[in-house]
Amino acid sequence: MPTSARKKILYVTDQPQQAAGPMAQAIQAAVQDHDVCCFHMTAEKASGIPGPEKGTGPGSGHSTALAHYSFTCPAGSPRSLGTTVNKALDHQIHQWGKAFDLVHLDGSSPAIQAVNLHGNLKELPKVLSLGRDPVAGKAQASSAGAQNPEVERIKHWFQAAGFTYYLPATQQLKQQLSGEYGVHAEKMRVVPQNPGASHWLADLYTETLATCGKLPGGRPYRQCTKCVLDTADDPAIQFDDDGVCTYCHMYKRNDPRAVFKGKDKQKELERIVDLIKKSRKHVKYDCIAGVSGGADSSYVALKLKEFGLTPLLVHVDNGYNSDLSNNNVKKIVEHLGFDLHNYTVDWEEFKNIQLAFLRASVLDIELITDHAMVAYIYNLAAKLGIKYIIFGHNYATEGILPNGWNHEKMDLLNIKAIAREFGGMHTLTMPQLSFWRRPYLYLIKGIRGVTLLNYLDYDHRKAKPEIMAKLGWTDYGAKHTESIFTRFYQNYILPTKFGIDKRKAHLSTLIASGLMDRATALEELKKDIYTPEGFRADLEFVINKLGITEQEFNAFMTAPIRQHTEFPSYVTTHYPLEKAFFDRVRPLTRLIKGRKNKV
Ligand SMILES: [Zn+2]
């Protein structure tokens, strides 16, 4: 074995050095390939100074690859034991010239807890192993109604340290852990609950999950010091010297480009409103605006009125719209007097595509709705000869979204491929926007999308009371939950199956745009994402709507995750060619532009 692959491993066990059994076997096996140090912790009521007794076991004195230390933990003095253990650690590290790579904890006696909770191991970069997969066996424990010793052990370790620990939790496991053990479990993440708790333990546990292959990237857990995103949200996330993440930097870089500020902002807004007004030739409307009933699009509609524009409002219903959102749309129309165009999807077809996406086990089930909505509005604009489409998207509340949290929304090829493979559907009637149609609409038809809120000082906290007062708009709480499916998808499917808590992207954006402070965001994240009743009601609504049983739905939830790009996709075929093409012609277009500017 090459020396670079040799690891320094520390075993901390409550087995004495002479004991035979699995632990001794594991140590014997490890010493073949690695440098091993064993701390035998015995809890005794004996008085006296706790201390290491080095070199009494096999291997000591013969091989530098194996060292044994025995410690006794006198009752009531775990802190002094911690100090002694640390001295022994320092000694061993000094001998080996390198910190430990792996710490394996075996047992849960007070002596071992003393090492863990009162010892000061934080200088050592390492991985913690709890012997067995702490997650395994939960289901059996739950069904048997018996206390699972593993759960007990983890609970003990982590609660004593003031941690919330996060596991690859099913809803059932979560409920069991919170009900029976008073422990809040989420997916693959360890979060300290009190400020006194050490990040060290959180890092160790998350690293353990990483080495078990449970956390992609195999990186230690780390959270941005500015926003709330972490290594579990994006395994490739990077941090600067101050611990600020890539997304915060990206936001700051793009903000001036995306959002107009200062004096220029008003000028730019007037210019764009003027352009939209002038674009109207022979049609009744100067623009199209989608309205969902949510705060952003309702606010946009109000502003369009105030700017003296004449939009055609378009409302797309995929069959999941809540009564509140439908009511909000009605109120917008009543108060503003705009024309409304309703489009309802062919439910049978839409349902079958959704089921195909669930069977395919891919992440972005909302791709179908999002694509249909944009495609419908663009195609309608082309048909009616309208040049401007106003979107409710905005940088202030939606600027940050970690990589891999959604799929490319214009990927019609992917929708078609999945519908064909998992739904046997060969033709689709849903609104579509192909790769080739987009340049046609842009270049030939001259259709432009406008994200109006980026020209305003958009602050959702002020916007909501304004639309309530002026439109009779009703708030329904969380972002983008005007559709029951969206709510269920974001609150249950995404976090439970894919380990994605969409709130974190939203809250991080609010922090980045200065609309919220980090402490408030962290408080917000502690709240339950669903009430049990809310979850139950939405689950039943969704499975009834899709015409499937709860068992069938649960089978989707537990099926292995597949990537969108495992199926035909523009992302793997058309987009790379498109990029290569533009890379080629860019020097040419620059040349042309340069000449134009001279003239
Ligand atoms: Zn950040």
- Other beta carbons less than 10 A from residue 463's beta carbon: 21
Rounded to the nearest angstrom, the distance between the alpha carbon of 504 and the centre of ligand 1 is 10
* pLDDT of 485 higher than 50: yes
pLDDT band at 186 (very low <50, low <70, confident <90, very high): very low
Rounded to the nearest angstrom, the distance between the alpha carbon of 511 and the centre of ligand 1 is 9
What separation in angstroms does the CA of 387 have from each of 143, 410, 432, 445? 60, 20, 19, 8
How high is the pLDDT of residue 383? Answer: 94
Local structure of 132: helix, strand or coil: coil
Report pLDDT digits (tens) over 507-550. Answer: 999 999 899 999 999 998 888 788 888 889 999 999 999 999 99
> Look-up: residue for tokens 């519908």?
419
Closest residue by Cα to residue 467 from 336, 288, 338, 311 = 336
> Look-up: residue for tokens 């077809």?
349
Q: Is 476 in contact with 482 (CB distance < 8 Å)?
A: yes
Rounded to the nearest angstrom, the distance between the alpha carbon of 391 and the centre of ligand 1 is 26
Rounded to the nearest angstrom, the distance between the alpha carbon of 495 and the centre of ligand 1 is 20
Report pLDDT digits (tens) over 297-313. Answer: 999 999 999 999 999 99
* pLDDT of 55 higher than 50: no
CA 117 to chain centre: 30
Rounded to the nearest angstrom, the distance between the alpha carbon of 467 and the centre of ligand 1 is 31
- Fill in the amino acid letter for 535: F
Rounded to the nearest angstrom, the distance between the alpha carbon of 455 and the centre of ligand 1 is 24
The residue extents of the domains of the chain are: 3-242, 259-498+530-568, 574-599
Q: Which residues pair with 19 in a beta bridge?
A: none
How high is the pLDDT of residue 404? Answer: 86
Closest residue by Cα to residue 554 from 338, 361, 346, 298 = 361
Report pLDDT digits (tens) over 382-416. Answer: 999 999 999 988 888 888 999 889 999 999 999 99
How high is the pLDDT of residue 553? Answer: 93
Local structure of 268: helix, strand or coil: helix
* pLDDT of 64 higher than 90: no
* pLDDT of 192 higher than 80: no
Rounded to the nearest angstrom, the distance between the alpha carbon of 230 and the centre of ligand 1 is 8
Rounded to the nearest angstrom, the distance between the alpha carbon of 400 and the centre of ligand 1 is 9
Rounded to the nearest angstrom, the distance between the alpha carbon of 192 and the centre of ligand 1 is 18
pLDDT band at 277 (very low <50, low <70, confident <90, very high): very high
Rounded to the nearest angstrom, the distance between the alpha carbon of 239 and the centre of ligand 1 is 8
Neighbours of ion ligand 1 (CB under 5 A): 224, 226-227, 245, 248
pLDDT above 90 covers what percent of the chain? Answer: 35
The class that CATH gives domain 259-498+530-568 is alpha beta
User: Region 219-244: what's the mean pLDDT?
Assistant: 84
Rounded to the nearest angstrom, the distance between the alpha carbon of 204 and the centre of ligand 1 is 21
Rounded to the nearest angstrom, the distance between the alpha carbon of 16 and the centre of ligand 1 is 46
- ∠ CA 551-555-561 to the nearest 5 degrees? 160
Rounded to the nearest angstrom, the distance between the alpha carbon of 498 and the centre of ligand 1 is 21
* pLDDT of 480 higher than 90: no
Rounded to the nearest angstrom, the distance between the alpha carbon of 187 and the centre of ligand 1 is 20
Query: Of 209-218, 394-403, 434-443, which gets the smallest average pLDDT?
Result: 209-218
How high is the pLDDT of residue 400? Answer: 93
Closest residue by Cα to residue 47 from 4, 80, 10, 6 = 80
Rounded to the nearest angstrom, the distance between the alpha carbon of 512 and the centre of ligand 1 is 8
Rounded Cα distance between 462 and 304, Å, is 17
What is the C-alpha radius of gyration for the chain, rounded to an integer number of angstroms? 29
- Other beta carbons less than 10 A from residue 386's beta carbon: 24
Rounded Cα distance between 127 and 123, Å, is 12
Rounded to the nearest angstrom, the distance between the alpha carbon of 459 and the centre of ligand 1 is 20
Rounded to the nearest angstrom, the distance between the alpha carbon of 235 and the centre of ligand 1 is 13
The more confident residue out of 583 and 360 is: 360
Report pLDDT digits (tens) over 250-267. Answer: 898 887 777 777 777 888
Q: Is 455 in contact with 272 (CB distance < 8 Å)?
A: yes
Rounded to the nearest angstrom, the distance between the alpha carbon of 225 and the centre of ligand 1 is 7
- Other beta carbons less than 10 A from residue 69's beta carbon: 26
How high is the pLDDT of residue 366? Answer: 95
The more confident residue out of 95 and 421 is: 421
